Amino acid sequence: MRLQRRRESVHKTTRTATVLTAILGLVLGTASCSGTPTPDPAADSAAPAAPAATAPTAPVPPPAPPSDTSDASATLPDDPDTFPRVGTRPLGWGPQQRDATAAARAVAAMTPEQRAGQVLLPFYRGLDHEAQAARIERLHLAGSIIMADNVPGTPDGRVDTAAMHGVASRLQAAAQAGGRSWPGLIGVDQEGGVVARLRAPLTEWPAPMSYGAAGSGPLAGEAGQAMASELAALGFNTDFAPTSDVTMGPADPTIGARSMSGDADAASGFGVAFSQGMLAAGLLPAAKHFPGHGSVSVDSHARLPVQGASLEQLRARDLKPFQAAIDAGLPMVMTGHIAVPALEPGVPASLSGAAYAELRSMGFQGVAVTDALNMGAVQGPYPHDSAAPLALAAGADLLLMPANVEAAHAAIIAAVRSGALPPERLAEAAQRVVTMMIWRARTGAGPGTAPGSGSGLSREVSAAAITVLAGPCDGPIVPASVRLTGGSAQDRARFAAAARNAGISIGAGPLVSLIGAPAAPQTPADVAVALDAPWPLAHSTAPARIALYGRSQGAFDALAAVLAGHARAPGKLPVAVGAQHPGTGCA
C-alpha cells in the first residue's frame, strides 16, 4: 500500500505539472505543452498495448513561428509583462514573460564574447576542477558537464559525495561570476544501466528498457524523480536523459537497452513520465537524440550515421517520442549527429538548419542542445571545432562538449565578426539558455535525497521488468544448487549473493549462463539470462530464457527470486526477440 500511494503521488505530481503548463500556455497565448558498456558510451555526453496510461494531455496547436527576428539589443518595452520580440516566443513548459524579459535584458547587456560563452557547455579531463572553474569565468561559459573522470572518489572506489558537492558548488560559483543572477548548468549523463557517470553510493539503476518491460508510467516517473533527487543533493541541476530513441532491434549498435521500448507510443509515454519525475525533483531533462538514433546501424561516436527514412516514416515512428516530449512541455531536446537525406543530405541533424526547422515546426519552444561535439561523426568532417558556429547558425541554442572550448568560443566570435553567424542568432540562442536558467532559479528545487535512497525502488523496477521468454511461469525454475557461467566477475559475484539469499547455492546442478554483449559467444545452458538488451536470447536453445535488463544488485535479486520460485516474472518484452513479439512474457 505504501508503494501504491507513492506511485499515485508521483502520477498526480506529473499530471498536475502537465495541467499547469497547459494553463500557462493558454494564459501566454502559446501552445499548452506544445511548441549515451564502455567508458562514457554516450557523449551525452502501461505495456506497449496500453501507453495511454502515461500519455500527455492533448496538445493545443502550436503558434506560428515569428515572421522575423530582431537583435536582442533592441529597445525593450517598459511593461515587464510584454514579451520582447527577439526571435523567441513564450515557452509553454515553464518560463513566464518575466523570465524571458529578464533574460532579454541580460543578453542585451552582454558583449559578443559573453553571449558566446552562454551557449557553450564544456567538459574537462581529470580532477583539475579549479582550472575548469577559471575557464568558465574567463569565457563566461554556461556551466560544465561532469564526466566519469571528473568524479572525486574514495580509496575503495566509491564516489566521494561530499567532495562531489564541493566540485559542483565551485563550478556553480564560477558560472555565476561577474554578477550573473541565474545559475549555471551543472550537468551529467545519468540514464541508468551502462550510462551512469556516478556510481555507488548513489543508487544503481537498471537499463532504461526496464521501464518498457515493466509497463508502468507511474513507476517510470517515480524512478525519474528518485534518480534526479540524488543528483540534486550533490549540486546538479541538469541531466542529459532520458534517451527517447525508439530502438529498431539488434541492428542498433548504439542505443540498445538505453531505449525504453521498440514501440514508439510506449517509448513516448515512458519517456515523458520519467522526464516529469526529473522535473519534479528540480533537474532539467533533455530528450535525446533527435531525430532518433535507435534506427540507424552506425554509432555516431565513431562516424556519421545516415537515416534513410522519409519524413513521413520518421514522423510515424522515430519522431513520436520527441513530439510527446514537446507536447508535455519538456525544456530541452538534444539533436543527434545523424544525417537525414530527407532533411539535408550529408549534414548531421545537429548542424542542419532543416533539422532545427523540423524541430521548431513540431512546436518546440525550449533549448535545443547538440550532442557532444567531440564525437567522431562531427570531429572528422568539421575539425578544430568549426562545427560550433555552424550548429548555432543552423538553430542550436546550447553546444555540448566541444573538443576544445577555447577554440569553439573563438570560432563563434570569428563567425559573428565575418557575418557567417548573424549576431541576432547568437543572441537568440543565449536568451533561450538564460531564460531557462532564470526560470529554473525562480522555481527552485528540493533539497534532494541521500545517496542510495532509491535502491529499494531500483529493485522494484527490476522485479517488475524481469521477463520469462521460455520456461515455467510458476514455481522454481532451478533446484537448490546451480552452476554459473558468463558475465563479468562483478555479475557473477552479485548473482552468487542474490542466489544465496534466495536459498540457491553455486557448485552443482543446471547451468545458468549470464549473457552480456549481443555478440558474446554463448555456452549451451539450461537457463540463459540476457543482462542488458534481450536480443541474444533469440539465438539461445536453453529451455529457460530470461530477460533481466540490468546488472545492478537489485536486478540479480529479482532474478534469484524468480529462479527460486519465490516470485513471478511480470515483465513483458518491449521489443521483438527473434520470432517472439513484443508483449511476450508470463501472463
DSSP characters over 212-277: HHHT-HHHHHHHHHHHHHHHHHTT--EE---B-PPP-STT-SSSGGGSS-SSHHHHHHHHHHHHHH
Whether residue 425 is predicted with pLDDT greater than 50 in this model: the reply is yes
> What interhelical angle do 405-418 and 423-443 show, nearest 10?
130
Spatial contact of 197 and 151, defined as CB atoms under 8 Å apart:
yes
Reported as a single tens digit per residue, the pLDDT across 72-97 is: 332 223 333 322 222 333 334 578 88
Q: Given this model, what pLDDT does residue 519 score?
A: 62
Strands 544-547 and 467-470: antiparallel
Looking at the DSSP bridge assignments, the partners of residue 462 are: none
Which pLDDT band, with edges at 50, 70 and 90, does 450 fall under?
very high
> In this prediction, what percent of the chain has a pLDDT beyond 70?
83
Closest C-alpha to 261, from 550, 533, 501: 533
Q: Given this model, what pLDDT does residue 255 score?
A: 94
The three-class DSSP label of residue 329 is coil
Whether residue 513 is predicted with pLDDT greater than 90 in this model: the reply is yes
Whether residue 267 is predicted with pLDDT greater than 90 in this model: the reply is yes
Q: Given this model, what pLDDT does residue 93 score?
A: 55
Whether residue 516 is predicted with pLDDT greater than 90 in this model: the reply is no
Instruction: Give me the helices (H) in 398-525, please.
Output: 405-418, 423-443, 455-465, 489-501
Spatial contact of 501 and 515, defined as CB atoms under 8 Å apart:
no
pTM of the complete model: 0.85
Average pLDDT, the chain: 86
Whether residue 346 is predicted with pLDDT greater than 60 in this model: the reply is yes
Reported as a single tens digit per residue, the pLDDT across 457-482 is: 999 999 999 999 999 999 999 999 99
Whether residue 392 is predicted with pLDDT greater than 70 in this model: the reply is yes
**Mean pLDDT confidence for 508-528:** 86
**Mean pLDDT confidence for 126-134:** 98
Residue whose entry in the numeric block shows the C-alpha cell 562483478: 490
Whether residue 423 is predicted with pLDDT greater than 90 in this model: the reply is yes
Whether residue 46 is predicted with pLDDT greater than 80 in this model: the reply is no
Q: Which residues are catalytic?
A: 301, 371
> What interhelical angle do 455-465 and 553-564 show, nearest 10?
40
Which pLDDT band, with edges at 50, 70 and 90, does 48 fall under?
very low
Q: Given this model, what pLDDT does residue 36 score?
A: 37
**Mean pLDDT confidence for 430-447:** 90
**Mean pLDDT confidence for 174-202:** 95
Whether residue 9 is predicted with pLDDT greater than 60 in this model: the reply is no
Report the side by side order of strands in the sheet with 481-486.
Answer: 467-470, 544-547, 527-530, 505-515, 481-486
Residue whose entry in the numeric block shows the C-alpha cell 534517451: 243
Reported as a single tens digit per residue, the pLDDT across 191-229 is: 999 999 999 999 999 999 999 999 999 999 999 999 999
Q: Given this model, what pLDDT does residue 521 score?
A: 66
Domain boundaries, the chain: 2-34+92-443, 466-564
- Residue 123 is placed in which grid cell? 567538459
Which pLDDT band, with edges at 50, 70 and 90, does 447 fall under?
confident
Say if residue 192 is exposed, middle or buried (CB neighbours under 10 Å; 0-12, 13-18, 19+): buried
> Which phi and psi angles does 315 have, rounded to 5°?
-70, -25
Which pLDDT band, with edges at 50, 70 and 90, does 297 fall under?
confident
> In this prediction, what percent of the chain has a pLDDT beyond 90?
79
Among the ranges given (4-8, 271-275, 278-282), the one the predictor scored with the smallest mean pLDDT = 4-8
Closest C-alpha to 525, from 494, 482, 557: 482
Q: Given this model, what pLDDT does residue 245 score?
A: 95
Largest CA distance in the chain: 80
- Residue 528 is placed in which grid cell? 540463459
Please give the radius of gyration of the chain, using alpha carbons only, rounded to the nearest integer.
23
Q: Taking the domain 2-34+92-443, which CATH number applies?
A: 3.20.20.300
Q: Where is mean pLDDT largest: 28-32, 176-180, 368-372?
A: 368-372
**Mean pLDDT confidence for 141-162:** 97
Among the ranges given (37-51, 359-373, 428-442), the one the predictor scored with the smallest mean pLDDT = 37-51
